[in-house]
Structures are given as structure tokens and as C-alpha cells.
Structure 1
Amino acid sequence: MPLRHATLHQLRIFSAVARHSSFARAAEALHLSPPTLSLQVKQLAETVGEPLFEQIGKKIFLTRAGQAVAQTCQDIEQRMERLSQELAALHGIEKGSVSIAILTTLKYTVPKVLAEFCAEHPGIEATLFVGNRETLLQRLAANTDDLYVMGQAPAHMDVMSEHFAENRLVMVAPPGHSLAGQREVPAQWLAQEPFVLREPGSGTRLTTERFFSGHGITLTNRLEVSSTEAIKQTVAGGLGLAVLSSTTVVSELALGELVQLDVQGFPLIRHWYVVCPAGKRLSAAASAFKTWLLHAKLGSPAV
């Protein structure tokens, strides 16, 4: 019988028997009855024209013909997997999934971009994780998500990164602060002011401390808070000044709950980066969202 009459079903069953070196274990793994499995292997052997297994004692071993068929099965499985990936790539922009992890600061902007992307591609399933920088770095190291959006790519990790938007950091104070309304306030005037700072390791905190250190100033840390919302409330309550991304204080400035100080050297300009592990093969859906994000109007409002 010509070899072309061998079916993928028979080859799959044979591959399982060869892998487990047992008809019984292969039947269990494939959820087939042993007689059904044995019949399929027998029919494949008849098609090949050679015995595929030989039994020595209670163990079965591949014959030379069986070894050749097993290698072919492996080649076919690999090619089928590549075909699956290629087909997924063709349809992945409309069907697929994407997992994104972002800094808490970006919860005011990226979810909107993601919603627009999903509205354009309703077949895509998206998941979004929001956390601080330390948590994102842990997830990045574990390759938990497809893409990570943060204020600075980690220098100690092998990653691919692209910056795509400005992140303007502004100085905010409670309403009625003595420096509110003054123009071009020198940094030295803030040397004795109490500050509400993000947690150690935060990109915003590092940038702020670097700026003041360059002016010979060590900030007075009145309070350390890991939540942007909590920082805004604390500053509004009069406990100190803070440096925050301008995207996070638009409403509070408009409502007069906070005021922005005109400090020389501000706003501090940073960038947002989209990051993934080096060498990571993005799915079509993830690649499409990355392109969408890179072209999104995500920059901070002019200040």
C-alpha cells in the first residue's frame, strides 16, 4: 500500500507509542482504548511494509523502519507547529491575545489606548496589569506578559525597548502655597520645603532627586507614598510638595485642588518606553498593539 495512505491520525498515535515506549501509556495519554490504538499502529505498519516495533521481554523497541517513521513524525509535528504559527500570524490581528503590564502612572492614558485598539480589533482578547516599577521588573524577568510600558528600560536586563512619548514631570503644591503664582522659582528656594515622594526605586523619584542633587539640594522627605492618588491627596491636604507626571494631575489642576509651581528647570522631561525581553517573538496581536501604541498620541499635555 502506498505510504501516502498513512494518515496524520495514525502518525500521531505511532508517535505517542514511540515516545512512551508503551502501548498502554500511549492509549491512556490519547484517551483511546488499547485495541483501537493497536489497530491503528498495525495498519500503519502494513502501509509502511515493515514492522515498526519489536518486543523483547516486556519492553518494546523501535525497529530501523520505526526509527525512520518516528523521525518523520517529529518533522511533521514541527512543520505543523510552524504552520499553526503562520496561520495565527495571518489572522492574529483579528484573532489572538495580548498581555500588557503598565506602571500605575500610566493608568490614566494606556487603558484608553488599549480600549481604542480593542474596539478596532474586537476579536482580540487583552489583559492589562497595573503595578509599580518593582513589580513590573519582576514580571519582565519572568516573561509574564507580552509588553511592558514604563518610564525607563532596565539597564541590568537584556531587553528591547522603544520610547514613544514624552513624560513631563511637574511640581505641584496645595492651593494657597506661598510660591503659587510666582514666576521662575529658583530650585534653591525649595531646599527647606517638605516633599511627598514615591517609593525608593521609582523612576519619578530618581529623576526628582537627580535634579535637586544637581543643584546641591537634598530633599526633605516628609512622607513616602507608593500611590499617585495618595500623593495627590496628601499634597492637597498641605503636607508637602510633590513631583508628578502631568497626565496624572490634569483634573486636580483644573478643579483647583492642586496648583502647579513654576520652578526653573521644570517640567522635567522623561520618556515612556515599551519594553519586552530581547529575542521575544511577539504574537501578531501583541506586535499590532505595540505599533498602535507607538503611534498613539500619548504625550503629556503642554505645560
Structure 2
Amino acid sequence: MSKGFSRIASQKLPNITLRQMQIFESVVRLGGYTLAARELNLTQPTVSMQMSKLCEILGLELLEQSGRRTHPTSIGREVYDNMREILDRLADLGGLADDLKGVVRGELKVSVITTAAYFMPHYMGKFIERHPLVQPRLTISNRNDALERLRSNQDDLLIMGKVPDSMPVKAHPFINNEVVVIARPDHPLNGKRGISLEQLVGERFLVREPGSGTRRAVDQLLAKHGLKLTPYMELGNAEAIKQGVLAGLGISVLSRRNLDLELGSNRIVILDVQGFPLVRRWYAVHFRGKRLSLVARTFLEYILNEMELEFS
């Protein structure tokens, strides 16, 4: 018998069920019993009862209430990190069994930032057509929330435009992301050629929140020319930006891939501005050294090898 098995056999292990670990992970991640119950198809009293049992088994206070949100205590955070590792290992074990059989099935968890939400669901749908046994889990969030999901290893892949340099990640570039300046067709700058950046910053400008990759790219371009944008209005997502432009509130910048319908119907136009379009890349990101399941590897191969052709 190996030392590892001998150690396990000689220890008294806590009588914790897999379901209790799943419930605790969900409560901490979602910040509440009700949201966890909804995600797991349980009743709120069941979730509460199981958390009480878990605390009793371990003899520890794992959770505390702050306003409407439930947070882990300091020891609860340590327990959470350990339980996440156990659940991840169990998920890897299930994936390994499918890998050995060569079956592309199971959960595919992909998180995308909001600006990628306009094209990613369509291409995930095409992937599912090829592999109907795959269960897609697509989460759309802003950059900060997406990075937190990446940090806590909640997804197989994160689709984003600006790769974080503060985390040890591997980034796979797969398609271009053209950022363009947009306006309503009746805007005075429509039809003018070679609009200067000086003219641009003098216009009423609708911008994304400071953490947005698109806003960061525009700010960096302007800074190179000694210019700075004074936002007329700050909006939380690309759809709000489009609606603001359509309402005549001002001009803005967006990924061209978000504008197919509006450009096709001539409701929005692209302005000819010096330095634009900004050509960036979309990346599929995961932690360096992370073992991707067969499902995740197959999806990554799909977007690397085929989406480039479809978008070219």
C-alpha cells in the first residue's frame, strides 16, 4: 500500500457529502442561499439546512451575512478553496474517463466579456450542432467579473480582448476585432474624410466604463498624440452605447462585430477617423498549465482552426 493510501486509511475523514460541497461552493460563489438554490434546483430551506449540517460536521462557522449577501468567514474562505480543488479534481476525473473513450460530451463552460457576446453564442451553437452531447454553459459579464471568474477557475475558457498581464495565463488569438468610430447617419461628421483625432475629442463622446478593454485601447491611442477624451456620458455595455448613438446623444467606438444589424439597415455609420479602425484580437484564455477537458480542447481547436476562416 502506498504512503498516500496509508495516510488516508489511517485518518478519520469528515463525513461531508459531495452535495454539501457543491451547495457550499454555489452559496459562496453566488453570494446567497436563494441564488444557490435556484442554480442547483433546490429549495432555499434545503440549502440552509445543508449548510448548517456542514458547519456542524466541521465544527466551524463558514458563512456570515452582510446586508443581502452571504460571505465566507476567513476560515470559510480556506474551506471554499479546498472544496473547489476537490470538485475540480472530480470534474477532471469525469472528463478523463470521457477522454479515454474519445467521446466529446459533458459541460463546456465559457465566459465572455460583454463585447464578445454578439458573436460567441452563434458560434458556440454551431459547435453544439457538431457535438450534440456537449452541454454549453455560457456566461456573459464585464471585464472585472470575467477576470474574477478566471481567477477562481470557474470556466474552461474566457473569451476577451485584453489579456491580463497580472496572472499566469495562456492566450490563444483567434480572430481580429476591429474597433471603429460610429455615429448616427445625420451626424455632421458623416461623409467627411480623414477626421483628425483633435476633431474627435471635441465631439460629445459616449464611453464604456474605465475597465473596458475598448475604452483602454482608445485612451492609449489618444495619449500617444497628447490627447485626452472627456466623456459626455458613461454607459455600461455595448448595447447601451448603440442606443445612445441612435438617440443622437453623441458618437462612440465599438467593435465592428457588434454592428451588423445597425450597419446593414443604415441606422449607424462608421466615421473615417485617422488611426481607426483599431485592430485588436480576441483571445481564448485559460490558466497556464490548466488541463483542458476533451470538450474544451475540441472547442478551442474549433475556434482556432475554423472561426478564422468564417470571419475572414
- Whether these two folds match at TM > 0.5 is yes
Contact 1:96 1:124 in 2 (8 A): yes
Aligned equivalent of 1:284, options 261, 280, 294: 294
Deviation at 1:207, TM superposition (A): 0.4
Residue 272 to residue 84, structure 1, CA distance change in 2 (3 Å): closer
Aligned length: 235
Matched residue, 2:182: 172
Matched residue, 1:235: 245
Identity among equivalent positions (%) equals 37
Aligned counterparts of 2:311 and 2:291: Cα–Cα separation in 1: 34
Q: Which runs of 5+ in 2 are unaligned?
A: 18-90
Matched residue, 2:54: none
Question: What TM-score comes out, normalization by structure 1 length?
Answer: 0.71
Aligned equivalent of 1:249, options 230, 254, 259: 259
Aligned equivalent of 2:198, options 178, 188, 205: 188
Deviation at 1:164, TM superposition (A): 0.9
Matched residue, 1:271: 281
Aligned equivalent of 2:12, options 16, 20, 41: 20
Contact 1:195 1:242 in 2 (8 A): yes
Residue 83 to residue 283, structure 1, CA distance change in 2 (3 Å): closer
Q: Does 1:159 align with 2:169?
A: yes
Deviation at 1:87, TM superposition (A): 3.2
Contact 1:150 1:272 in 2 (8 A): yes
Structure 1 range deviating more: 209-218 or 84-93: 84-93
Residue 294 to residue 213, structure 1, CA distance change in 2 (3 Å): same
Contact 1:102 1:129 in 2 (8 A): yes
Q: Which protein has the larger Cα radius of gyration, Structure 1 or Structure 2?
A: 1
Matched residue, 1:108: 118
Deviation at 1:272, TM superposition (A): 0.4
Matched residue, 2:100: 90
Contact 1:225 1:231 in 2 (8 A): yes
* Partner-residue secondary structure (3-state), 1:238: coil
Residue deviations 1:105-156 (CA, integer Å, cap 9, x gap): 1111111111111111111111000011111001011111111000011000
CA RMSD of aligned residues (A): 2.8
Residue 109 to residue 235, structure 1, CA distance change in 2 (3 Å): same
* Letter of the structure 2 residue corresponding to residue 180 of structure 1: N
Matched residue, 2:213: 203
Deviation at 1:216, TM superposition (A): 2.0
Contact 1:197 1:221 in 2 (8 A): yes
Aligned counterparts of 1:205 and 1:269: Cα–Cα separation in 2: 14
Q: Which runs of 5+ in 1 are unaligned?
A: 1-11, 30-80
Contact 2:209 2:215 in 1 (8 A): yes
Aligned counterparts of 2:219 and 2:156: Cα–Cα separation in 1: 31
Residue 251 to residue 299, structure 1, CA distance change in 2 (3 Å): farther
Contact 1:159 1:278 in 2 (8 A): yes
Q: Aligned ranges for residues 76-155 of structure 1 at < 5 Å?
A: 86-91=96-101, 93-155=103-165
* Partner-residue secondary structure (3-state), 1:130: strand
Aligned counterparts of 1:135 and 1:82: Cα–Cα separation in 2: 24
* Letter of the structure 1 residue corresponding to residue 306 of structure 2: A
Deviation at 1:93, TM superposition (A): 4.1
* Partner-residue secondary structure (3-state), 1:113: helix
